[in-house]
Chains A and B, each alone.
Chain A
Amino acid sequence: MRLKALTILWLLSDALLFAGAYVLAYFLRVGFLLSTDFPFNKYLLATVIVTPVWIIILMMNRAYHPLRNQRTAANAATMIFAALVATALFSLTYYFQYTKFFSRLLLVLAFVLSTLITWLWHILYQEVLRAWLRRDPPTYPTLIVGITRESRALIETLQRHRNPLKPVAILDGRGGAEKEIAGIPMLGRLHKLEETLEELHITHLIQGSDLEQSLNLLSACRQRGITYMLLPSVLGIVERDERVESLEGWPVTVVTPEQLMR
C-alpha cells in the first residue's frame, strides 16, 4: 500500500516536471511573452500527448522499480534515452498535428532540461522513497543466509545506501560466533529458517553461501512467495564479470574471463 501510493505520487510528479521542463524550454527560447507565431497552447498540447509515452518508456526500462539506484550511470543512460525518444516524438507529434516544424534549439533545450530536471528529481525522490520503505515495519524485510566476506559487504552496502531491501536477520548453515553484522542480528543456523520467515514476514531472501542448500532455500521461498536472490560468489564468481543471458531460450549465467576478450 505504502509502495503503491509512493509510486503513484512519483508518476504524477514526474509527469508534471516533464511537462514543466518543456514549458520552461518554450519560454526560454520564445520569450516570456506569449507568441502568436508559435502558439503556446499548441505546444502544450503536443507536450501533454508525449508525456505519458515518456513515462511508459521509463516504466519499460524499470526506472520506477523501488530497488533501482537512480544515481547510477546506467540509470542516467535510461533517462537520457527516454528523453531523447520523447523529444523525437514531440517534434513528430507537432508536425503531424500542425504540419509545421520549429526552432531546433527549442528541441535541444527541451531535451536537456527534461533530462536534467527529471533525473535530479528521481535522485531526490529515491531518498524519500527509501526512507519510507525502510520505516518500521519495513516494506521489504530481507533475510541474509550465509556469512561470507561478500554477504557481509552486501549487508553493509544495503544499510549504507538505505536500500529498500532492509536486512532484518542473518542465518548461517554452520552457525557463527558473531551476534550481529552491521547491526543485523545473527539468529543461528538454518533450522531457524521457517520461524524466521514466519515471524519477520520476510519478503526477500539473499543467499550468500551454503550452496548445497540452495534447492531447499528456493523451495522455502516458493512456498511463501518470497523473492530469492543468489550472490554469484556462492558459485565461486567474485570477479564481477558474470551476466545472465539466453542461450536458445535457456537462461545461462555467463562468465567471460577478461584475457579471452582481448
Chain B
Amino acid sequence: MRAFILAGGFATRLWPLTEKRAKPLLPLAGKPLISYIVEGLPRSIPVTVSTNAIFAHGFTEWRATIDHESIDIVIEQSKRDDQKLGALGALAQWVDQSHINEDILLLTGDNYFGFDLQSFIEAARKDTALLAAHDIGDLDRARSFGTVLLNEDRQTIRAFQEKPRSPESTLVSTGCSLLPASLLPVLQEYATHHPDNVGGIFEELLKRGKTIDCFISDALWFDIGSFEAYLAATRALIGHRTIDEGDIRCDRTRCNGSVVLGKGSSVTNSTLTDTVLFDRCSVEDCVLTDCVIDADCVLKGIDLTGKMLRAGTRLTRK
C-alpha cells in the first residue's frame, strides 16, 4: 500500500495565512496539519505528498522534521490555478509515471482526522474502495458538506449528495479514502476527463456498479477550508488551555479559552481570547479575540476581533 497526500492547492480562502505556506503546513495546535496525518500512518507505508512549485520548498523543509521512513515530495510544475493538473490529475500522473500497482490510501492534506488511520486501513476489504465518513450528528450542519447515503446494510455507500439543501444523512465524506489497485484503471480513465474532481471518482465507481465501503467515525474531523474552521479545529484540539510553544515571554497577560503562543513570542499587558499567535510575534497592550496572527507580527495598543493577520504586520499605535 502507498499513501498519497493531496497538497497542491493554493488555499486562496485562507489568505493571508497561506500567502507563503500551503494549507497542510499551517500549524494547528503546535504542529503542521500534515504532521498529524503522517504521524497517524503506519511507518511501513511509503508516503507521497503532491504539491505545487510555489509551496515545494516548504514541504521539503517540513520533511526534514518528520520521523518517517519514506516520504516523497512530488512537485507539480504549476505556479497558477490555471496551470494546475488538478488533484485527481496529479494522482493519475503519479500512478502512471511511478508505475504504481498497489492499493492507494488517498488523503487530503488539509483535513484533520481524529480517527485511527490504522483501523481505517484494516477495515478495507480486498478489491473494494473504502471511504471514511464523519458523523457530524446534525442534519443542519451537514448542509455545508458532501454527504454519504448508505445502503440498508449500513456498511456500503448508496449515493453521494453535494451540499444538499435537505440532507438525508448526517454522514459527511472526509478526505480519507482507499482505492484498491484493481480500480486504478478506472481512476486513470476518469481523471483524463475530470482531473479536478476527486470526489467524482467515487460517484463514477458507483455508476459502474462497484461497491464502496464506508468507514464511519464520530471522532474529531476537520476540513480546514476557512478561517472559522481553523479556529474551530484549534478550539477542539486544545480545549480551554494555553499552549506555549517555547521561548515565550508572557507578562501581565490574561489568556481565555484556546490560546496558542508561538515559539519566541512576547505578550505583555494584553488579553487574548481564542487566539493563535504564530512564531516570533510581539503583542503589547492589546485585546485580541478570535484572531490568528501570523509570524513576526508586531502589535501594540490595538484591539482586534475575528482577524487573520499576514506575516510581518506592524500595527503600533503612536
Contacts and interface: CB of A to CB of B under 8 A. Distances in A.
Interface of A: 173, 175, 188-191, 193-194, 212-213, 215-216, 219-220, 222-223
B15 interface: yes
Interface in B13-32: 15-16, 18-20
A219 B19 CA distance: 13
Majority secondary structure, B binding face? loop
Given A191-B10, A191-B11, A216-B309, A222 B16 contact: no
B313 A216 contact: yes
Contacts of A191: 10-12, 15, 18-19
B81 interface: yes
B309 A215 contact: yes
Given A216-B309, A219-B310, A219-B315, 12 more contacts: A190-B12, A193-B15, A194-B20, A213-B16, A215-B304, A215-B313, A216-B15, A216-B308, A216-B313, A219-B312, A219-B313, A222-B314
Contacts of A222: 314
B307 interface: yes
B16 A216 contact: yes
B210 interface: no
A215 B315 contact: yes
11 contacts: A188-B81, A189-B15, A191-B10, A191-B11, A191-B15, A191-B19, A212-B307, A216-B310, A219-B312, A219-B315, A223-B312
A96 B307 CA distance: 64
Contact of B19 (A173, A175, A188, A194): A194
Nearest to B314: A222
Contact of A193 (B19, B307, B308, B315): B19
Contacts of A220: 310
Interface core residue of A212, A213, A215, A222 (most chain B CB under 10 Å) = A215
B269 to A, nearest CB: 21
9 tightest CB-CB pairs across the interface, nearest first?
A219-B313, A189-B12, A216-B310, A190-B15, A216-B16, A191-B12, A191-B15, A191-B10, A219-B310
B80 interface: yes
B107 to A, nearest CB: 23
A209 to B, nearest CB: 14
A194 B304 CA distance: 24
A117 to B, nearest CB: 45
A223 B63 CA distance: 31
A246 to B, nearest CB: 15
B309 A219 contact: yes
A144 B244 CA distance: 40
A213 B308 CA distance: 8
Interface in B289-318: 304, 306-310, 312-315
Among B11, B18, B19, B314, residue most surrounded by chain A Cβ atoms (within 10 Å): B19
Contacts of B310: 216, 219-220
Nearest to B20: A194
Nearest to B81: A188
A194 B18 CA distance: 12
Nearest to A195: B79
A151 to B, nearest CB: 19
Nearest to B16: A216
Contacts of A194: 19-20
A193 B19 CA distance: 9
A145 to B, nearest CB: 12
Contacts of A215: 304, 307, 309, 313, 315
Nearest to B313: A219
B80 A188 contact: yes
A213 B13 CA distance: 11
A3 B107 CA distance: 56
Contacts of B10: 191
B10 to A, nearest CB: 5
Nearest to B18: A191
A195 B89 CA distance: 26
A194 B310 CA distance: 11
A212 B310 CA distance: 12
A124 B313 CA distance: 43
Given A219-B314, A223-B312, A190 B80 contact: no
B312 A190 contact: no
Contacts of B12: 175, 189-191
A213 B19 CA distance: 13
B308 to A, nearest CB: 7
A216 B314 CA distance: 10
Contacts of B307: 212, 215
A227 B179 CA distance: 52
A112 to B, nearest CB: 47
Contacts of A190: 12, 15-16
Contacts of B313: 215-216, 219
Nearest to B227: A212
A237 to B, nearest CB: 21
A34 to B, nearest CB: 60
A250 to B, nearest CB: 11
Contacts of B306: 212
A220 to B, nearest CB: 7
A220 B312 CA distance: 9
B165 to A, nearest CB: 22
A219 B212 CA distance: 49
